Structure 1
Amino acid sequence: MLRWIIFLIVYAIIDFYAFQSFKTVAKNNWILALYWILSLLVIGNFLFHYYNFNRSDGFTVQQAFAFGFLIAFLVPKMLLLIIMFAEDIFRVPQAIYRYFTEGSSASGNYFPARRQFISKVALGLAAIPFASIIYGIYKGKYNFKVLKYTLTFNDLPDAFDGYKITQISDIHSGSFDDIEKVSYAIDLINEQASDVILFTGDMVNNKASELIPYKDIFSKLDAKDGKFSVLGNHDYGDYVTWESEEAKHQNLEELKTIQKDIGFDLLLNESRFLEKNGQRLALVGVENWGTGGFKKAGDLKKATQHIDAHDFKILMSHDPSHWEQQVIADPYHYHLTLSGHTHGMQFGIEIPGWFKWSPVKWRYKYWAGIYQEMGQYINVNRGFGYLAFPGRVGIWPEITVIELKKGAELA
């Protein structure tokens, strides 16, 4: 209870300062009243959904929107707070000076009036994150991008020169609210006409039932060499309360069955061979393995018991921290690892090929795109869906297409 009292006090302080900018610029009382009405509706809606949160059901779409709207209003207000407070750094000393030099003879309030120019600039700057977040909630989360890479290996089997892989990750089907947009993305994946489709975990938020409305849509995914998948940390149902361990286990088994019905070959610390013209690639899939309190069910040794050390290997592992902590230094040498998990935090600034930044980089060294270490590559997919915050700002949902080429490896 204490933390919520502190939260509301902090929120009230932020609101008070943000209101100063509106009060300076807007003289219409109806506009000022509308500010408080919207502010109270947003915080009230958030508190209502928070106190009605049922851990057995998990995070609902309605709760996600309540959280999203809170973020959409809170972030711009925090910017206004910073600017208004910075103005007060100058206003307060002036007020103190007037108090001691003019005393009771001072006319009006000791504080100098707020400057309209500063308030207008503050509101203009605050409009940028507000518009960006609102766009991210309504459009950005379905702003699918196809990112294409060509990776060159000197030991790639000749038959696989030009081989195309489509990777998707982090579907989080329980978060979707527009089935037509999801269907469009599936068509976009099929348009890539890749040889194989690889899914790197988190098919659902918590429960297998989330996937049922999208089962027919994902069944349309097509690649001539098949579709393969692994589990992510959310697929195990660890983030909701179950009536029994048996119910939790049954949920996981149901998810495995649905993935099979869709056409995915789910690799549970297993391997498969992709064969072409008498040559082969080893496809290795491990269960989730992650640092920072995440499940460590992945077992590389078990997954590669039928793989030769000299095989060309593609590893599917949901969490990129696995690559950093165990895979890079493994003597088996995994040529290409495909991961997801980070979502790029669904927020950041990115100019493809030039610049990318997200706060998630402080948590994960490898958080989005292609990285190379010790002659091995990893691609961290930014995710197909979204979780908790119902949108994406600057870091868009991703469909990755990787073409393998035979030749001298790039430095």
Structure 2
Amino acid sequence: MNRRSFLKRLIAGFGGLMLLIGLDALFIERRQLLWHDMTISLPELPKAFEGMRIAHFSDMHLGHGLTAEDIKPLVSRINEARPDIVAFTGDLVDDGMEELEAAADVLAGLQAPYGKYAVLGNHDVRGKADPDRIIQAYRAAGFVPLVNEHVKITHERTGQSIWIAGLDDFWRKPNWNKTFADIPEGGCTIALIHEPDLADLAKDYGVCLQLSGHSHGGQIRFPFVGGILYPPYGRKYPDGLQKVENSSMFVHTSRGIGTTILPIRFLCRPEWHVLTLSRFTNL
């Protein structure tokens, strides 16, 4: 084989590889939804809530290659897991509201005895998005929209309680003091905050676990490099469960369901989690 033939074959092979990667990223991987189970140790957790299961998902970005019909399998799988709580951490839409009402009808099928809770993401509050309509859609789907507020969940037999707090999106200058007002010191607070890097602020409000999305895990990842599309406030705690710097708090960041900017995923499949809370299990 001469040099010219070698170069032609090398270029053809590289081109074929890039084509396969592109087809996988565009048509295959972004449709391969993963279900992960994880146990998180929270010493502040009241005894009555030992083993509580939270279904956490985020970042649907409806309208960006994802329709209401596409999320029906997700609803079925979450119900199959039988969670106690369902938590959605923002970016229901991407840049448009066309699928909103239809998606609310689908999400209404989610079941959780201790409730369904949701917050707004940055795509829900800017561009063509209408945050008030999104909040109405959350309510129509049976979710409690948390916008700078919290709810107290009390165990019916023991009277022990935990708190679920939800922060308005960072792009709307959320009210931190209002969000966490009147939660007793030492209480077990689980915060739904779209941008994970805000955990460095949440730790000062007695939060023991923050649930976030926003980062998409980078959306496109390469071996030895990692993600390449991390957004602002999604770079320090971009993926999975991490200990928050200089605290005992944890932040769990979901890679999300949908996509943004480009309708592709590579080595970064969409995911949702069942988080089992425990006072004892070590990571």
- State the identity as a percent: 27
- Match runs of 1:2-401 below 5 Å: 114-177=3-66, 179-236=68-125, 238-240=126-128, 251-276=130-155, 277-289=158-170, 295-324=171-200, 326-328=201-203, 330=204, 332-349=205-222, 357-360=226-229, 364-373=235-244, 374-401=247-274
Give the deviation of 1:220 after TM superposition. 0.9
Give the deviation of 1:153 after TM superposition. 2.2
The CA distance in 1 between the partners of 2:67 and 2:131, in whole Å, is 25
Distance 1:196 1:356, change over 3 A: farther
Q: 2:95·2:127 contact (CA, 8 Å) conserved in 1? A: yes
Give the deviation of 1:349 after TM superposition. 4.2
Distance 1:272 1:388, change over 3 A: same
The CA distance in 2 between the partners of 1:309 and 1:269, in whole Å, is 18
- 1:354-404 C-alpha deviation (Å, 9 max, x unpaired): x88212469612111111122110011101111231121111111111111
Aligned length: 277
Report the residue type matching 1:219 in the other structure: A
Distance 1:172 1:178, change over 3 A: closer
Distance 1:192 1:174, change over 3 A: same
Q: 2:67·2:99 contact (CA, 8 Å) conserved in 1? A: no
Q: 1:208·1:252 contact (CA, 8 Å) conserved in 2? A: no
Give the deviation of 1:321 after TM superposition. 2.2
The CA distance in 2 between the partners of 1:366 and 1:235, in whole Å, is 21
Distance 1:362 1:165, change over 3 A: closer
Give the deviation of 1:408 after TM superposition. 6.6
Q: 2:44·2:208 contact (CA, 8 Å) conserved in 1? A: no
1:273 counterpart SS class: strand
1:344 counterpart SS class: helix
The CA distance in 2 between the partners of 1:118 and 1:285, in whole Å, is 57
- 1:165-187 C-alpha deviation (Å, 9 max, x unpaired): 11111111112455543211221
The CA distance in 1 between the partners of 2:121 and 2:195, in whole Å, is 8
1:124 counterpart SS class: helix
The CA distance in 2 between the partners of 1:198 and 1:318, in whole Å, is 11
- 1:141-198 C-alpha deviation (Å, 9 max, x unpaired): 2210012211112221001111111111111111245554321122112111110000
Greater percentage in strand: 2
2:63 counterpart SS class: helix
Distance 1:178 1:318, change over 3 A: closer
The CA distance in 2 between the partners of 1:234 and 1:307, in whole Å, is 29
The CA distance in 1 between the partners of 2:239 and 2:12, in whole Å, is 32
Report the residue type matching 2:226 in the other structure: W
Distance 1:408 1:204, change over 3 A: closer
The CA distance in 2 between the partners of 1:343 and 1:177, in whole Å, is 15
Distance 1:408 1:389, change over 3 A: closer
The CA distance in 2 between the partners of 1:209 and 1:297, in whole Å, is 27
Q: 2:68·2:99 contact (CA, 8 Å) conserved in 1? A: no
Indicate the structure whose relative CO is greater, using CA pairs within 8 Å and at least 6 residues apart.
2
- 1:122-152 C-alpha deviation (Å, 9 max, x unpaired): 3323323321221221122221001221111
Report the residue type matching 1:288 in the other structure: D
Q: 2:64·2:95 contact (CA, 8 Å) conserved in 1? A: no
Give the deviation of 1:231 after TM superposition. 0.5
The CA distance in 2 between the partners of 1:114 and 1:170, in whole Å, is 49
The CA distance in 2 between the partners of 1:168 and 1:359, in whole Å, is 21
Greater percentage in helix: 1
Report the RMSD for the aligned CA atoms in angstroms: 2.3
TM-score for the superposition, normalised by structure 2: 0.90
Distance 1:333 1:123, change over 3 A: farther
